[in-house]
């Protein structure tokens, strides 16, 4: 009787060890797959400047904004505001005003990433808003690509003329500085990512 209980305990222990090993293997496989997917998204993103007329669903826009607001910011200030433009007339106007923004003509949506100086750090640290909003912008571009959408960063700041024009068209108050306009849409055709890997850009420890 005692022997039987010991054998059962041993069997149970073996089953538990096998289960633990299986769970560990599944977890490591999952994290490898996540790493692969993230790297794949980063390495295959490219600027997309031509879109179909399919409207980007509001829930997808929300996903893009969630990605944007997940970006790191200096002292966690999150000094930003995002203007989602879906109005055809406004998109057309922006496409004319921005010299390198012709693709806004075929986009059904654009996100204007703005730095909010009222939320930004002060004095010498204020300019960190540009890096904070750039991180948010890159998150939008990557998330769009991961979701099968296409997007491109269209520069506004630091060109004062473009900042003033975008402010004027979208009624943006003085404390907000439009950094860029990011048209988003379903890609019209394929775009090939550029291979920018260049070992000459890399230094170790000292120049």
Ligand X SMILES: Cc1cc2nc3c(=O)[nH]c(=O)nc-3n(C[C@H](O)[C@H](O)[C@H](O)COP(=O)(O)O)c2cc1C
86 near 117, Cβ under 8 Å? no
- Site membership for ligand X, residue 194 (CB under 6 A): yes
- Contact stretch for ligand X (CB under 6 A) within 9-17, 44-52, 69-77, 119-127: 44-52
For the bound state, the minimum distance from the C-beta of residue 49 to ligand X, rounded and expressed in Å, comes to: 6
**In the structure encoding, which two tokens stand for residue 157, read together?**
């700041």
Q: Please say which residue, 108 or 137, places its beta carbon nearer to ligand X.
A: 137
Strand partners, 81: 114
- At which residue do the structure tokens 């929300």 appear? 62
Contact with ligand X (CB under 6 A) among 50, 105, 135, 153: 153
- Site membership for ligand X, residue 100 (CB under 6 A): yes
Cα torsion 83, 89, 91, 95: sign: negative
Q: Please say which residue, 197 or 204, places its beta carbon nearer to ligand X.
A: 197
- Site membership for ligand X, residue 46 (CB under 6 A): yes
- Site membership for ligand X, residue 108 (CB under 6 A): no
Strand partners, 183: 110
- Site membership for ligand X, residue 47 (CB under 6 A): yes
CA neighbor of 109 nearest in space, from 134, 130, 82, 129: 82
Residue ranges with strand state E in 30-165? 80-85, 109-116, 150-151, 154-155
- Site membership for ligand X, residue 152 (CB under 6 A): yes
Contact with ligand X (CB under 6 A) among 69, 83, 155, 164: 155
- Site membership for ligand X, residue 66 (CB under 6 A): no
158 near 24, Cβ under 8 Å? no
The footprint of ligand X (CB under 6 A) covers 46-47, 49, 100, 152-155, 194
């Amino acid at each position: 009787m005692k022997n039987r209980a010991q054998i059962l305990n041993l069997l149970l222990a073996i089953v538990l060890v096998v289960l633990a090993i299986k769970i560990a293997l599944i977890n490591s496989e999952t994290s490898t797959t996540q790493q692969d997917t993230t790297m794949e998204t980063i390495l295959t993103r490219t600027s997309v400047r031509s879109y179909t007329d399919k409207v980007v669903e509001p829930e997808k826009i929300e996903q893009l904004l969630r990605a944007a607001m997940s970006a790191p910011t200096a002292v966690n200030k999150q000094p930003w505001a995002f203007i989602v433009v879906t109005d055809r007339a406004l998109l057309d106007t922006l496409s004319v005003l921005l010299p390198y923004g012709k693709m806004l003509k075929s986009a059904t949506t654009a996100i204007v990433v703005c730095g909010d100086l009222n939320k930004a750090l002060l004095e010498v640290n204020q300019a960190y808003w540009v890096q904070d909003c750039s991180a948010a912008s890159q998150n939008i571009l990557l998330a769009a690509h991961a979701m099968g959408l296409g997007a491109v960063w269209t520069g506004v700041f630091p060109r004062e003329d473009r900042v003033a024009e975008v402010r004027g068209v979208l009624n943006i108050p003085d404390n907000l500085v439009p950094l860029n306009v990011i048209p988003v849409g379903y890609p019209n055709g394929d775009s090939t990512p550029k291979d920018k890997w260049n070992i000459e850009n890399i230094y170790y420890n000292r120049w």
